[in-house]
Amino acid sequence: MTETFYDVLRRQGISRRSFLKFCSLTATSLGLGSAYAPKIAHAMETKPRTPVIWLEGLECTCCSESFIRSAHPLTKDVILSMLSLDYHVTLMAAAGHQAEKQLEEIKKKYKGNYILAVEGNPPLNEDGMYCIEGGRPFVEILKETAADAKAVIAWGACASYGCVQAAKPNPTRATPIDKVISGKPIIKVPGCPPIAEVMTGVVTYMLTFDRLPELDRQGRPKMFYGQRIHDKCYRRPHFDAGQFVEQWDDDAARKGYCLYKMGCKGPTTYNACSTVRWNDGVSFPIQSGHGCIGCSEDGFWDKGSFYDRVTDIKQFGIEANADKVGGTAAAAAGAGVAVHAALSALKKAKKSESTEKVTGDN
């Protein structure tokens, strides 16, 4: 007997009436009209919890760690009631052959119906053997598991963009999962790690509304990644006023001025930190005095120092930022002009001297 989503809601004290209301709200919010409410109710009453297979490649497990920090909903309820976390190496009780068997069974039993959540990424150098699971390259397991998934979630900067192991020179050729998985919807939830409530928010959105969240150009859910840290930063009035922390622990730092001059990447980073905040809303990097390092942006490791605003451009070598490259070019042009002007004046003087001589001779 499989417990359905409806059973779960009922067990959590939700009445039949509010359940039906929920269904009709869902129907209208999906643009389906109230006639569809009974159909949704029927689906919810008979649907088993959605199976989730969570794979880990090259990563640091902080996406899992972040996930279990979720306060609303509680991770406990997510795992016990909302979905069925059927494979997750960091949490599951079984190991070795028993774990491998579990993976095979879920893939078969729920073919086309499970969500694949990926933390970390596959390395492609050395035939993928920089990340081995069960004696095989992780990339193979990833591809096989993706083949029968309904949808794929890319957790964190690793799965979405490559993250730290893909920073230059990327010795293992760590590769974002969308470069090895094709033909499946992939939802990127970047961040190093992403915020816990953003992670559970994305999952519960899919379960509640039975559809994928709307994504932006880069495949991120708009609802959490549609705006920059800077757009909703509570220090923004200080930015607009031109009030900056000039040095760590200076008076401005103690007053909570803007961290722009300390290299804050809030103006160039899409994430929900300044709105949702971290760990049940306690704080976020800027509130605790350090600039945003841009941890949810593609390749943020190779965008120059975390403490510069005008950052290095890697095409010009490690130590070249726009001001250095451009300033040098402008200075060289200026110096060139000065020298050229002097030479021109000299030449002109000589020329008029010689013409004068000619005239004088006349």
Q: Give me the residues that bind ligand SF4 (CB under 6 A), please.
A: 59-60, 62-63, 119-120, 156-158, 163-164, 192-193, 229-230, 233, 235-236, 239, 258-260, 264, 266-267, 286, 291-292
Q: Cβ 313 to ligand SF4, closest distance in Å?
A: 20
Binding status of residue 46 toward other proteins by CB under 8 A: no
Contacts with ligand F3S, residue ranges (CB under 6 A): 191, 229, 269, 271, 273, 284-286, 292-296
State in angstroms the smallest separation of the CB of 324 from ligand SF4.
22
Closest approach, Cβ 193 to ligand SF4, in A, equals: 4
Residue 15 vs residues 26, 40, 275: alpha-carbon distances, Å:
16, 16, 32
- List the interface residues with ligand HEM, window 218-237 (CB under 6 A): none
At residue 74, what is the residue type? L
Partner whose footprint covers residue 254, from ligand SF4, ligand HEM, other proteins, none (CB < 5 to 8 Å by kind): other proteins
Burial of 150 (0-12, 13-18, 19+ CB in 10 A): middle
- Binding residues for other proteins restricted to 87-126, rule: CB under 8 A: 88-102, 105, 123, 126
> In the complex, what is the shortest distance from the CB of residue 273 to ligand HEM, in angstroms, rounded to a whole number?
18
Task: Compute φ and ψ for 31, nearest 5 degrees.
Answer: 75, 25
Interface with other proteins includes 239 (CB under 8 A)? yes
For residue 33, state whether it binds other proteins (rule: CB under 8 A): no
60 binds, among ligand SF4, ligand HEM, ligand F3S, none (CB under 5 to 8 A by kind): ligand SF4
Q: Which neighbouring-strand residues pair with 84? A: 51
Q: Which partner from the list ligand SF4, ligand F3S, other proteins, none does 271 bind, CB cut-off 5 to 8 Å by kind? A: ligand F3S
Q: Can you say whether residue 114 is alpha, beta or left, with left for phi > 0 and alpha for psi between -120 and 50 degrees?
A: beta
Tokens at residue 230, please? 């800077």
69 binds, among other proteins, ligand HEM, ligand SF4, none (CB under 5 to 8 A by kind): other proteins
Nearest distance from residue 128's CB to ligand SF4, in Å? 18
Q: What DSSP assignment string belongs to 91-113? A: T-S--HHHHHHHHHHHHHHTTTT
- Told to check if 289 binds ligand HEM by CB under 6 A, we report no
Strands 83-88 vs 149-155: parallel, antiparallel or unpaired = unpaired
Q: Binding of ligand HEM at residue 335 (CB under 6 A)? A: no
Q: How far apart are CA 134 and CA 52, in angstroms?
A: 20
Of 146, 137, 148, 138, which Cα lies nearest the Cα of 111? 148
Q: How many CB atoms sit inside 10 A of residue 329's CB?
A: 10
Q: Does 286 bind other proteins (CB under 8 A)?
A: yes
58's contact among other proteins, ligand SF4, ligand F3S, none, with CB below 5 to 8 A by partner kind, is other proteins
The whole-angstrom separation of Cα 158 and Cα 176 is 7
Axis-axis angle for helices 138-147, 96-109 (nearest 10): 30
Q: Rounded to whole angstroms, what are the CA distances from 226 to 51, 197, 202, 255? A: 28, 16, 14, 29
The CB-of-141 to other proteins minimum distance in angstroms stands at 10
Exposure on the CB side of residue 188, measured as CA atoms within 13 A: 29
Using CA of residue 8, residue 114, residue 93, residue 124, what is the dihedral sign?
Answer: negative
Among 13, 31, 112, 169, binds other proteins (CB under 8 A): 169
Contact between 310 and ligand HEM per CB under 6 A: yes
342 binds, among ligand F3S, other proteins, ligand HEM, none (CB under 5 to 8 A by kind): none
Query: Residue 33 Cβ, how far from other proteins at the closest point, in Å?
Result: 25
Nearest residue (CB) to ligand F3S, 27 versus 163: 163
What is the spatial distance between Cα 70 and Cα 230, in angstroms, rounded to a whole number? 24
Binding site for ligand HEM (CB under 6 A): 267, 310
